[in-house]
């Protein structure tokens, strides 16, 4: 006989994009059908989940692999036994490994979402081989692996992570309803010291190698040479900030580079942009892209991994090669000089985000998956 609700225990490590994804997913999951429990690392905020989860548990889970993972596995296993969920849903590579090992032998269904494969990161061959081996070893301990793009599914097949029928693509999405009904114009250009008539080129993302902030500032210098009143905004923080600021100082445009640090509402800053960039070196999806579309911004992005699944060159954005600061600057200048191109990119982007990347669709597809899994008897 069916329980009143299907109980799902989510396990997550690494706040940031994964945190936003889970909150968006929970917001639109049918609360009449599903009960949600979150087991997460210390960098999540309990208040963010008020009204979204029925129970919230925080444990020590570290990003780096180490001896502390054994304690994390024990804690997750204890909590799975405590809540006795119908489905365990593991989010991100690290929590994915911990949760799947913790769940071995327990009677429930298990789903895993890497939110971008760790073995696709630009890292040493040794580390890439390690993550590939971990994914292959852990794959038998879940029934479904959610890929956030077609490119992610293709990567899994190329690496022979698991059988194809274990993989399901559920494209990422953004909360259009919340954005459109929210406040706009809360951040002013003047608050960052940007003149009202400036041409603003921006990016949202960690200031770390994946998001290529070094390419962004090299592009910025080339754009500045052509557009003297150009200003550049990086919405984010990270370990390359000093290097980025130094480059701007040495090239005499430090007063035109604005780094916000970590902010609660990056969309308020995206609204200041004239052009939005995502020049990543690798990307499982690139959630910033539909966010830029939602805000009505023309996009310049790198042609890598999942990005061409989202951006069609010349239609809803412009694509450039990875690490190509010159190509990126030329794309920005093309948008600056060609108003009809800019209008076309924006119009198609807004249409695409509504048709393809709405958060409600993400939750609906998960709901169907959960219900179908629940119907299968656990042996």
Identify any residues that bridge with 326 across adjacent strands, giving them in sequence order: none
Helix (H, G, I), strand (E, B) or coil at 55: strand
| Average pLDDT value over all residues in the chain | 94
User: In this predicted structure, what is the pLDDT of residue 126?
Assistant: 87
Domains 6-173+358-374 and 178-356 in one fold: yes
Phi-psi region of 3 (alpha: psi -120 to 50; beta: other; left: phi over 0): beta
User: In this predicted structure, what is the pLDDT of residue 69?
Assistant: 87
User: Are 308 and 319 spatial neighbours (Cβ–Cβ below 8 Å)?
Assistant: yes
From the candidate CATH numbers 3.40.50.2000, 3.30.720.110, 3.40.50.300, 1.10.8.620, the one assigned to the domain spanning 6-173+358-374? 3.40.50.2000
Look up the CATH number of domain 178-356: 3.40.50.2000
Model confidence pLDDT, tens digit, residues 277-301: 999 998 888 889 999 999 999 999 9
Quick check: 372 pLDDT over 80?
Answer: yes
User: In this predicted structure, what is the pLDDT of residue 175?
Assistant: 93
Quick check: 121 pLDDT over 80?
Answer: no
User: In this predicted structure, what is the pLDDT of residue 299?
Assistant: 98
Domain residue extents for the chain: 6-173+358-374, 178-356
* Range list of H helices, 169-252: 176-181, 213-226, 241-250
User: In this predicted structure, what is the pLDDT of residue 1?
Assistant: 44
- How many other C-beta atoms can be found within 10 angstroms of the C-beta atom of residue 246? 12
Which of 18-32, 118-132, 332-346 is predicted most confidently? 332-346
Distances (CA, A) of 40 to 8, 159, 283, 292: 14, 28, 23, 28
Model confidence pLDDT, tens digit, residues 242-255: 999 999 999 999 99
Mean pLDDT on 261-288: 93
For residue 165 the two structure tokens come to: 């029928």
Model confidence pLDDT, tens digit, residues 34-67: 999 999 999 899 999 999 999 999 999 987 777 8
- Alpha-carbon distance of 290 to 285, in angstroms, equals 10
For residue 162 the two structure tokens come to: 């698991």
Helix (H, G, I), strand (E, B) or coil at 161: coil
- How many other C-beta atoms can be found within 10 angstroms of the C-beta atom of residue 123? 15
């Amino acid at each position: 006989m069916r329980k009143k609700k299907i109980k799902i225990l989510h396990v997550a490590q690494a706040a940031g994009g994964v945190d936003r994804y889970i909150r968006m997913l929970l917001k639109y999951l049918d609360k009449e059908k599903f009960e949600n429990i979150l087991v997460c690392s210390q960098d999540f905020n309990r208040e963010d989940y008020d009204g979204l989860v029925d129970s919230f548990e925080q444990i020590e889970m570290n990003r780096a692999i180490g001896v502390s993972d054994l304690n994390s596995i024990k804690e997750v296993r204890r909590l799975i036994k405590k809540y006795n969920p119908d489905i365990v849903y593991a989010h991100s590579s690290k929590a994915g490994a911990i949760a799947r090992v913790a769940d071995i032998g327990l009677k429930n269904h298990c789903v895993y979402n890497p939110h971008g494969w760790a073995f696709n990161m630009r890292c040493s061959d040794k580390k890439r081989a390690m993550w590939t081996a971990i994914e292959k070893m852990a794959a038998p301990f879940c029934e479904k692996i959610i890929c956030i793009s077609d490119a992610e599914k293709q990567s899994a097949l190329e690496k022979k992570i698991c059988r194809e029928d274990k993989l399901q693509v559920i494209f990422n999405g953004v909360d259009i309803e919340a954005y459109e009904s929210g406040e706009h114009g809360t951040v002013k250009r003047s608050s960052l010291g940007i003149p009202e008539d400036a041409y603003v080129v921006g990016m949202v993302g960690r200031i770390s190698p994946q998001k290529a902030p070094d390419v962004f500032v090299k592009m910025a210098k080339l754009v500045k040479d052509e557009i003297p009143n150009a200003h550049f905004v990086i919405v984010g923080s990270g370990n390359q900030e000093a290097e980025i600021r130094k480059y701007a100082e040495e090239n005499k445009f430090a007063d035109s580079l604005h780094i916000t640090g970590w902010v609660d509402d990056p969309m308020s800053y995206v609204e200041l942009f004239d052009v939005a960039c995502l020049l990543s070196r690798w990307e499982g999806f690139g959630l910033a892209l539909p966010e830029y579309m939602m805000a009505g911004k023309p996009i310049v992005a790198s042609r890598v991994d999942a990005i061409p699944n989202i951006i069609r060159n010349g239609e809803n954005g412009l694509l450039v090669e990875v690490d190509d600061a010159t190509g990126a600057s030329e794309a920005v200048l093309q948008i600056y000089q060609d108003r009809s191109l800019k209008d076309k990119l924006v119009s198609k982007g807004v249409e695409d985000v509504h048709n393809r990347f709405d958060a409600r669709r993400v939750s609906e597809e998960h709901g169907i998956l959960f219900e179908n899994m629940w119907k299968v008897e656990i042996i």
